[in-house]
Amino acid sequence: MTTTYDLVVLGGGPGGYDAAVEAAAAGLKTALVEVGELGGTCLNRGCIPTKLWLGATEAVDELAAQARMRVAAGEISIDFAALQGRKDKVIAATRKAMATRLAQLGVDLVPGRGRVASAGTLEVDTANGPKALHYSHLLVATGSRPMSFPGLEPDGARVLDSTGLLALAERPKSLLVVGGGFIGLEMAQAMHRLGAKITLVDALPRLAGLEDPEVSRVLETAFKRQGWDLRLGVKVASVKTRGEHAVLALDSQIGGGEELSADCALIAVGRRPNSADLGLEALGAKLSGAGHIQTDKHLLAAPNVSAVGDVNGRTLLAHAASHQARYVVERLLGKTTAPYASGPVPSILYGSPEVFRAGVLAEEAKAKGEAVLVSRAQLIANPMAQAHAATQGFVKCVWRESRVVGITAVGAGVSRLACLALLIIKLGWTREDAAGFLFPHPTLDEALQAALLADKEAV
């Protein structure tokens, strides 16, 4: 007898796992195919281990801030081997909890690499040989992997991608970081707190190039103050392991040909989708030039095939994948027929300072010719920022026709504002709404209120 699954999920990261859980909980016969480990990049090689590094080292920056005020002094030493051990233990425990949950819900977990053999059948290359899974619907959530460019390839020695850096057994005393996006910045911050001298190189003229330019300026000031060597707007010719060092050669034209050297180098120049050899093209699926699986307004890539998360290239964030996955399951269950709408997707940079963004950026709106206004408040007037001796930064609101449509912030602890800001944007608050809300005192959240109440300016 042949089982046909209501849903086969390919990939056990945040999107795939959440889809399998939601589907099975709703009574769908569900299988989950995963070639590696449950939890995907986020849990095993991305957000979670990075946050474990940052969480474990937060006292270092808290102390540094007070030491600058001459209020505190001291030394904190992190046992890197113990930190790595704890990271691996926490992640393994989470994976185990995920597997238990899947089993409780009756999801068939099939370890192996999956590939569509024909419409309705996924063939999985398992340790016990090939296994065919028949599906009514296939959800592809295969994620992404670190990108590299010629000359900037991780070599398994001292030139590493994010996966390699997170797996280090010994703490480097110095680190070259190629790429000033959120991945590079979070890892560089953790390594800085662990005592590594940071040199960061990016071809863009500013850090966090996708964020508000004012945010970039605050980040640059903060990291320079911490002693980082920032090389922005320069081109990297190559990064190679040479003996006991990683050596980065700047381009002779755009970088002066200088050589930079450190114990290790991290290549964090983006991620590329895991979309090759899935057999989807035969079903009619199309890949973009960058390799992302193209999806329609219902997140369909082909008849009875959806794609969610990094692999469709819409938003490379775990919570975006989960949100898309839940939509696909709701649609399968007949609970919605509407097109997929993410609404504003918040993004967060952790560390010190932190950054968050939700909704529209002023520059984006301006580029589209939209008439928006901005209002802002500096953190320096906020008592909680003062208490942590971390008063650099601001909250900035973007307004369209008297309603707030975007909020971004930079500064110590501003990630705490992200969910509230997102909900405020979804509600389309006016200035009056902000004035009538009872913000508790003292909170960093009052800086968000101050920004919402501040005078509006043209962009």
Which x/- pattern over 282-311 shows residues binding a copy of itself (rule: CB under 8 A)? ------------------------------
User: Distance between CA atoms of 286 and 444, rounded to whole angstroms?
Assistant: 46
Strand bridging mode 354-359 / 403-411: antiparallel
Our CB check for a copy of itself shows the closer of 120 and 309 to be 309
Q: Which stretch binds a copy of itself (CB under 8 A): 172-180, 218-226, 231-239, 379-387?
A: 379-387
Q: Pick from 26, 66, 240, 363: which binds a copy of itself (CB under 8 A)? A: 66
Helix (H, G, I), strand (E, B) or coil at 301: strand
CB of 39 to a copy of itself, least distance (A): 11
Count the neighbouring beta carbons within 10 Å of the beta carbon of residue 290.
Answer: 11
306-365 residues in contact with a copy of itself (CB under 8 A) are: 317-320, 322-323, 326, 342-348, 356
CB of 346 to a copy of itself, least distance (A): 4
Q: What's the chain's length in residues? A: 459
Our CB check for a copy of itself shows the closer of 5 and 429 to be 429
Closest CA to 383 of 446, 452, 459, 300: 446
403-442 residues in contact with a copy of itself (CB under 8 A) are: 415-416, 418-420, 422-424, 426-427, 435, 437-442
Our CB check for a copy of itself shows the closer of 312 and 322 to be 322
Q: Which stretch binds a copy of itself (CB under 8 A): 53-61, 105-113, 206-214, 249-257?
A: 53-61
Q: Pick from 44, 179, 445, 452: which binds a copy of itself (CB under 8 A)? A: 445
CB of 453 to a copy of itself, least distance (A): 11
CB of 294 to a copy of itself, least distance (A): 23
Our CB check for a copy of itself shows the closer of 231 and 388 to be 388
Our CB check for a copy of itself shows the closer of 93 and 254 to be 93
Could you tell me the two tokens for 155?
A: 């070599």
- Is residue 320 within 8 Å of residue 297, measured between CB atoms? no
Our CB check for a copy of itself shows the closer of 71 and 103 to be 71
With b meaning 16 or more CB within 10 Å and e meaning fewer, what string describes 293-303? Answer: bebeeebbbbe
Closest CA to 172 of 187, 183, 182, 151: 187
Q: Pick from 24, 54, 287, 362: which binds a copy of itself (CB under 8 A)? A: 54
Which x/- pattern over 29-48 shows residues binding a copy of itself (rule: CB under 8 A)? -------------x----xx
Strand bridging mode 174-178 / 264-267: parallel
Backbone angles phi, psi at 318, to 5 degrees: -55, -45
Longest dimension (CA), the chain: 75
CB of 359 to a copy of itself, least distance (A): 12
Element (H, E) at 440: none
Q: Pick from 4, 27, 68, 72: which binds a copy of itself (CB under 8 A)? A: 72
CB of 330 to a copy of itself, least distance (A): 10
Q: Is 132 in the site for a copy of itself (CB under 8 A)?
A: no
User: Which residues does the annotation mark as catalytic?
Assistant: 441
- Is residue 40 within 8 Å of residue 12, measured between CB atoms? yes
4-23 residues in contact with a copy of itself (CB under 8 A) are: 14
Q: What is the chain's alpha carbon radius of gyration, rounded to the nearest angstrom?
A: 23
94-113 residues in contact with a copy of itself (CB under 8 A) are: 94, 97
Q: Pick from 1, 2, 69, 169: which binds a copy of itself (CB under 8 A)? A: 69
Q: Which residues have CB under 8 Å from 263's CB, separation 6+?
A: 158, 172, 173, 174, 175, 196, 244, 245, 246
Count of residues interacting with a copy of itself (CB under 8 A): 74
Closest CA to 100 of 109, 113, 112: 109
Closest CA to 346 of 445, 403, 422: 422
CB of 37 to a copy of itself, least distance (A): 16
Give the CA angle between residues 381, 383, 384 to the nearest 5°: 120
Q: Pick from 378, 443, 453, 456: which binds a copy of itself (CB under 8 A)? A: 443
Which x/- pattern over 174-213 shows residues binding a copy of itself (rule: CB under 8 A)? ----------------------------------------
Q: In the 8-state DSSP scheme, what is residue 310?
A: G
Count the neighbouring beta carbons within 10 Å of the beta carbon of residue 183.
Answer: 24
CB of 94 to a copy of itself, least distance (A): 8
Q: Which residues have CB under 8 Å from 85's CB, separation 6+?
A: none
Helices (H), 307-375: 318-332, 362-367
Q: Pick from 73, 127, 169, 367: which binds a copy of itself (CB under 8 A)? A: 73
- Is residue 271 within 8 Å of residue 148, measured between CB atoms? no
CB of 448 to a copy of itself, least distance (A): 8
Q: Pick from 3, 71, 221, 296: which binds a copy of itself (CB under 8 A)? A: 71
